């Protein structure tokens, strides 16, 4: 489905990362792969370092830290917030919603709508869509979108399929009314038939966690994981991305009568370096228009890779000029989504390290 | 299939390959190699194979047949 919006835009982005840095090389011995194989894997996939949250740090900790930082530095006024949208796959609890916990701890007004959304790698675009929908209401002027995950805790130490790429973190994005903002186009597709291509089998009500679901079992490739762990059909996801993303981009170019020349940057979710390079090659997009340095430096933190990408790579450029971009997410659901928009005049665009309070 | 043969030799890190060679016998045959082959077949021929398809192929010759059958 295509959604069209006017008079609203992103006005600030803050990324919050846990300070602990894990190196791929330090974990090689956990994997059922020779050293040579592992080094080849890390070269092709672009594994380097990733940020991992402590066992006792949850997403509400990361989000509250980020929001307090914005309040204290006069970058966001507490009483200007009309809605708090939190996109996550790793809530603090099944209930209450984590956004309500955050609102309560920060003593936000009772007028603030709190909304948790369960989405992963397309979570930035789905969260923005929800923010835009709310901003179409005359009483809503400012929406805070939180993307946060600590998914590393759900990945088996002995799973070289997922472990070396998953990182943790959070981002805060402010979206608000602006009469001078350019038109926005949001495209979203979902395929529930492939929902289990990326999943955590146990821990919900269909299959509660138990001593049995925590038993590690070896798969055909020698990776060990339990039913409590994240499991991903890597090849199916790869084919899905190579198939659906170019198709959606082609459609968007035709639909909006634009071409690659009209786009300054493709700010796509970064599953790993390999996948994004193959995608750029297939779509004949120059590598420098599709920044691909997040996974190797911070890890793949699901919905935060796109805002993190903007903070890491475009902060300085955005101070000088506006950029026409396509934000893109693809993954869990399976969901794929693109937002064609202009990034301009951000009040803040930076990365901070989380510190335990 | 000439380009594919060259690519396969590169991926499997060998100088020669024969249709009767058993895939699993190559030193380089692992999950990463499988993904690289999936990606190569996609970029060279625009067709998509998955690891289930690859599981059915035992030899280099059968891998070629698999790709040819998808090309039709």
pLDDT of residue A246: 95
The answer on pLDDT for A1 being more than 90 is yes
pLDDT at B39: 86
Q: Which of A40, A236, A243 sits opposite B32 (nearest CB)?
A: A40
Cβ distance B38 to A239 less than 8 Å, yes or no, reads: yes
Does the pLDDT of residue A15 top 80, yes or no? yes
Q: Which secondary-structure segment (H or E) carries A132?
A: helix A123-135
Closest by Cα among A151, A170, A118 to A332: A118
For the beta sheet containing A349-353, the strands, ordered from the edge strand earlier in sequence to the opposite edge, are A113-117, A83-87, A142-149, A169-177, A8-17, A349-353
Residue scoring higher pLDDT (B52 or A127): A127
**Measured between CA atoms, how close is B63 to chain A, in angstroms?**
17
Both tokens of residue A320? 């000088």
What's the pLDDT at A255? Answer: 98
Provide, as residue numbers in chain A, all residues whose Cβ is less than 8 Å from the Cβ of B36: 44
Q: Does A244 touch chain B (CB under 8 A)?
A: no
End-to-end CA distance of chain A: 43
> Containing H/E element for A280?
helix A273-283
Question: Is pLDDT at B1 greater than 80 in this prediction?
Answer: no
* Residue contact B50–A44, C-beta within 8 A: no
| Three-point CA angle B17, B48, B67, nearest 5° | 40
pLDDT at A183: 95
**Residue A153: is its pLDDT beyond 90?**
yes
Q: Are A37 and A93 in contact, with CB atoms under 8 Å apart?
A: no
Q: Say what the pLDDT of residue A35 is.
A: 82
Spatial distance between the Cα atoms of A149 and A53, rounded to a whole number of angstroms = 9
Contacts of B65 (CB under 8 A, 6+ apart): B57
Instruction: Identify all chain B residues contacting A37, using CB atoms and an 8 Å cutoff.
Output: 30, 32
pLDDT tens track for B43-53: 888 888 887 88
Band of residue A31 on the pLDDT scale cut at 50, 70, 90: confident
Across the range A6-30, mean pLDDT stands at 92
How many percent of chain A have pLDDT more than 90?
84
Whether omega before A96 lies within 30 degrees of 0, making that bond cis, reads yes
Q: Is the pLDDT of residue A24 over 80?
A: yes
Return the pLDDT at B54. Answer: 84
pLDDT tens, residue by residue, A294-306: 999 999 999 999 9
pLDDT digits (tens, 9 = 90+) for A42-95: 888 888 899 999 999 999 999 999 999 999 999 999 999 999 999 999 999 999
Does A221 contact B30 at a Cβ distance shorter than 8 Å?
A: yes
**Distance from C-alpha of A192 to C-alpha of A289, rounded to nearest angstrom:** 31
**Mutate: best of A158, A235, A279, partner B, most B CBs <10 A:** A235
pLDDT one-digit tens code per residue, B53-71: 888 889 999 988 888 888 8
User: A25 or A59: which carries more pLDDT confidence?
Assistant: A59
CB A297 within 8 A of CB A48: yes
Q: Across the interface, which of A41, A238, A242 has its CB nearest the CB of B32?
A: A41
pLDDT at A182: 92
The lowest-confidence range among A94-103, A296-305, B11-20 is B11-20
User: A327-354 pLDDT, tens per residue?
Assistant: 999 999 999 999 999 999 999 999 999 9
pLDDT category, A108, cuts 50, 70, 90? very high
Which residues of B are less than 8 Å from A41 in CB distance?
A: 32
Q: What is the pLDDT of residue B3?
A: 82
Name the minimum distance, in Å, from the CA of A229 to any CA of chain B: 19
**What does the pLDDT look like over A218-264, one tens digit per residue?**
988 788 999 999 999 888 898 899 999 999 999 999 999 999 999 99
What is the per-residue pLDDT for B31?
81
Interface check for A239 against chain B (CB to CB < 8 A): the answer is yes
Average pLDDT over residues A273-280: 91
Dist CA A123 CA B63 (whole Å): 38
CB contact under 8 A, B36 and A33: no
Cα–Cα distance measured from residue A86 to residue A93, given in angstroms and rounded to the nearest whole number: 13
Q: Count of A–B CB contacts within 8 Å?
A: 37
What pLDDT was estimated at residue B36?
87
Q: What is the mean pLDDT of chain A?
A: 94
């Amino acid at each position: 489905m295509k959604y069209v919006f006017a008079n609203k835009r992103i006005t600030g982005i803050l990324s919050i990362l846990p300070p602990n840095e894990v190196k791929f090389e330090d974990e090689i011995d956990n994997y059922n792969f020779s050293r040579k194989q592992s080094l080849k894997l890390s070269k092709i996939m672009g594994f380097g370092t990733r940020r991992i949250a402590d066992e006792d740090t949850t997403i509400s900790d990361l989000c509250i830290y980020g929001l307090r930082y914005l309040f204290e530095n006069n970058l966001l006024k507490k009483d200007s917030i009309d809605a708090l949208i939190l996109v996550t796959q790793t809530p603090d609890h099944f209930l209450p919603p984590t956004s309500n916990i955050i609102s309560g701890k920060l003593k936000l007004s009772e007028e603030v709508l709190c909304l948790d959304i369960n989405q992963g790698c397309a979570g930035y675009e789905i969260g923005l869509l929800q923010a835009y929908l709310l901003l179409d209401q005359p009483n809503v002027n400012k929406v805070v979108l939180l993307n946060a995950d600590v998914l590393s805790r759900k990945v088996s130490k002995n799973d070289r399929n997922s472990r070396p790429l998953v990182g943790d973190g959070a981002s805060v994005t402010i979206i608000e009314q602006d009469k001078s903002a350019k038109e926005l186009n949001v495209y979203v597709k979902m395929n529930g038939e492939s929902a289990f291509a990326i999943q955590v089998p146990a821990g919900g009500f269909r299959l509660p966690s138990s001593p049995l679901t925590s038993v590690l079992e070896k798969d055909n490739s020698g990776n060990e994981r339990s039913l409590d762990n994240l499991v991903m059909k890597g090849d199916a996801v790869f084919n899905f991305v190579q198939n659906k993303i170019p198709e959606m981009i082609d459609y968007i170019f035709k639909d909006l009568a634009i071409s690659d020349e009209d786009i300054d940057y493709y700010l796509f979710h970064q599953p790993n370096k390999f996948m994004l390079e193959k995608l750029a090659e297939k779509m004949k997009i120059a590598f420098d228009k599709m920044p691909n340095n997040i996974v190797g430096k911070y890890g793949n933190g699901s919905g935060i890779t796109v805002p993190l990408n903007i903070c890491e790579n475009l902060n300085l450029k955005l101070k000088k000029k506006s950029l026409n971009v396509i934000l893109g997410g693809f993954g869990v659901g399976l969901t794929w989504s693109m937002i064609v928009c202009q990034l301009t005049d951000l009040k803040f665009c930076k990365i901070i390290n989380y510190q335990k309070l | 299939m000439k380009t594919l043969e060259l690519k396969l030799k590169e991926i499997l890190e060998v100088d020669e390959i024969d249709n009767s060679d058993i895939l699993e016998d190559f030193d380089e045959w692992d999950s990463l190699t499988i993904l690289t082959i999936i990606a190569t077949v996609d970029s060279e021929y625009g067709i998509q194979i998955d690891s289930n398809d690859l599981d059915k192929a035992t030899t280099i010759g059968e891998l070629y047949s698999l790709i040819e059958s998808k090309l039709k």
